[in-house]
Structure formats: C-alpha cells, structure tokens
Amino acid sequence: MKIAILSRDSTLYSSVRLVEAATVRGHEVRVLDPTHCYMNITSMKPSIHYQGENLTGFDAVIPRIGASVTFYGTAVLRQFEVMSTFVLNNSDAISRSRDKLASSQLLARKGIDLPITAFAHNPDSIEDLIAEVGGAPLVIKLVEGSQGIGVVLAETHNAAHSVIQAFMGLNANIMVQEFIQEANGSDIRCFVLGDKVVAAIKRQGREGEFRSNLHRGGTATVVRLSPQERAAAVHAAKVMGLDVCGVDLLRSRRGPLVMEVNSSPGLEGIEKTCEKDIAALMIEYIEKNIARSKAGSRSGSMVG
C-alpha cells in the first residue's frame, strides 16, 4: 500500500513510529505537512498537490493534525476523502472532537457520563454558574485550550469568582466543571482502535499539579480497566465517529467519567509504558479495512 501521514513534523515520535511500522510491513509511506498541500476542487478531477507534485495513488491517509491547524488540516483530509482514499479518522469526526463544547454535548446526549459541566460566555450571575457545578473547588477551562493550557483549578469560592471574572474580561468562552476530588490528580488514557481498547495507562500529575498531562511532568503506569471503563471508552469513540482516539477517563464515586476524546493521541507515553507496538496495530487496522473494502467491491461487481 501507499500511505500518507499528515503531520507537520516528521521527527515527532508518533510520526517516526508510524513510518517504521508501515515500512516493516512492506508499505510505501510518506509524511506530508498538510499546510504545504493545496487542492484543486472540482467534480471532474479533484486533486491534491504538494510542493509542486500531484499526489496520486495513495491507498490510505493517517491524519496527525495538530489543533492549531485543524481547519486547514481537515480540509486537506476531506479532499483525500473526495478522492475515495481510506482515512484513519474522517475529517468530520476530527472537527467534532476538537470542539470541546460540541463534543461534550454530543456525549451527554448519548448518555455517556461526564463531570458536571456548565458553559458560559458572559453569565449574568457568576454565583449561579458556580452553583451549577456544585461549588468550589472547580475547574475552569478555555474552550479553545489544549494539552492543559487554559485550565485552572479554583480551590475556593472567591478564587473561582475571580478567575471566571478574569476570563470574562478577555471575552473568552469558558467551561466550568466539577472537580473530581477522589481522582487525586490522575486520569486514565484509553487508546481505542476500532471497537477495542488496545492499551490503557494511568497518568498521575506531579505533586501539587491537578493536571495529569505527561508533558507537564506527570507519570504513567499500566492500568487494568474495569468492564465499565472499557465500555465507556469504546462507546465514547463510537459516538464521536473516530476509528482511533485517546479517551480520557476520571475514576469517580459514581463510576467512570469521560473527560475528553482526543482524535490524535500521542503514541510515545502509551507505547513505552505498556510496551506495546501501537503503531503496528494501527497499520494492521488500515490493512484489514482496505482488504474488506476491496472484497466488498469485488462481491458487488460479481453480483452486478
């Protein structure tokens, strides 16, 4: 197969590992910076160009699109879809997952348990907003933030009031969320591929840090999931329409709560912690889906 990886940096761990896994299995693979792609949008002969080259013959695309280039990156991915190329996560699902508010609303609509969350732009009563999530301590998030940026823990009522007021002064859209004390600064990252959780780790924030992001100094250990946690992760991925994703869970007294669904989960932390070749599993998943699609096409032509 001929596989394209849409990534702005070919030296990133995830990009390198995917190239290695695809190459070992005999595939031709290229890393393409989506911001350097340009498109000819026509119903007759749609095309994608890269540094003067017409990109043709790709069987599959693996999107590793950063949050800062979501709009253009998904436009490039959509063009591959127009050209009937298999994509590991479609453009609509990625766009949906990047909108924290829309994804939370969709997950809630489908009955997936979340931390109590309120959304506001310019609330008439900050007191009411704080009360909606059960009071302090509480978490305040910028809707546009990522990787823990723009996330604040307000431990007292006065602190919560001040932070919300400050964000309002910046004309920002914010989410106010209940703080799950019993999680003790940790969360569970479930790596979902297709309809299975193929690996899971517990991420623990460093001392005094409630955010568990590994790049902020957190640590990771292998974790055994309960059937309820496994089902919640797979259900969340299905609701978001993602083939591959990282589903972040909090362990609470009322069961697992979905914090976020990440459409471009990093491989380094989970591969090194679990000692699993996740990149190879992703390539295998692509192979099986393309083989299934070709078999279906042959079957359809024979019937015709």
Note the pLDDT tens digit of each residue in 72-101. 999 999 999 999 999 999 999 999 999 888
| Inside any domain, residue 304 | no
Do residues 168 and 193 both lie within one domain?
Answer: no
State pLDDT tens for residues 175-189.
899 999 998 889 999
Do residues 84 and 148 both lie within one domain?
Answer: no
CATH (domain of 135) = 3.30.1490.20
Which has more confidence, 42 or 302? 42
CATH (domain of 237) = 3.30.470.20
Among 78-82, 138-142, 278-282, 298-302, the minimum mean pLDDT is found in 298-302
CA distances from 122 to 158, 165, 177, 188, 272 (A): 18, 9, 16, 33, 43
pLDDT for the residue numbered 148: 56
Do residues 6 and 88 both lie within one domain?
Answer: yes
- How far, in Å, CA of 116 to CA of 237, rounded? 20
Side chain identity, residue 274: C
Residue 2: pLDDT above 90? yes
Give the confidence band of 213 by pLDDT, cuts at 50, 70, 90: low
State pLDDT tens for residues 216-251.
557 899 999 999 999 999 999 999 999 999 999 999
Residue 37 token pair: 């792609």
Give the confidence band of 297 by pLDDT, cuts at 50, 70, 90: low
pLDDT for the residue numbered 175: 87
DSSP state of 216: G
Which has more confidence, 263 or 168? 263
* Residue-number span of the structural domain to which 129 is assigned: 116-179
Q: Is the pTM of this model over 0.85?
A: yes
Residue 289: pLDDT above 60? yes
- The mean pLDDT value of the chain amounts to 90
Looking up tokens 């669904």, which residue turns up? 261
Do residues 66 and 33 both lie within one domain?
Answer: yes
What total number of domains does the chain contain? 3
46 three-state secondary structure: coil
Do residues 85 and 12 both lie within one domain?
Answer: yes
Do residues 221 and 240 both lie within one domain?
Answer: yes
Do residues 75 and 9 both lie within one domain?
Answer: yes
DSSP state of 89: S
Do residues 147 and 194 both lie within one domain?
Answer: no
Residues in Cβ contact with 253 at an 8 Å cutoff, skipping those fewer than 6 apart: 182
| Inside any domain, residue 281 | no
Among 109-118, 177-186, 210-219, 271-280, the minimum mean pLDDT is found in 210-219
Residue 269: pLDDT above 90? yes
Give the confidence band of 35 by pLDDT, cuts at 50, 70, 90: very high
**Contact call for residues 192 and 244 (beta carbons, < 8 A):** yes
Kindly give the interhelix angle for 70-82 and 91-98, rounded to the nearest 10 degrees: 160
| Inside any domain, residue 273 | no
Do residues 77 and 140 both lie within one domain?
Answer: no
| Inside any domain, residue 303 | no
| Inside any domain, residue 200 | yes
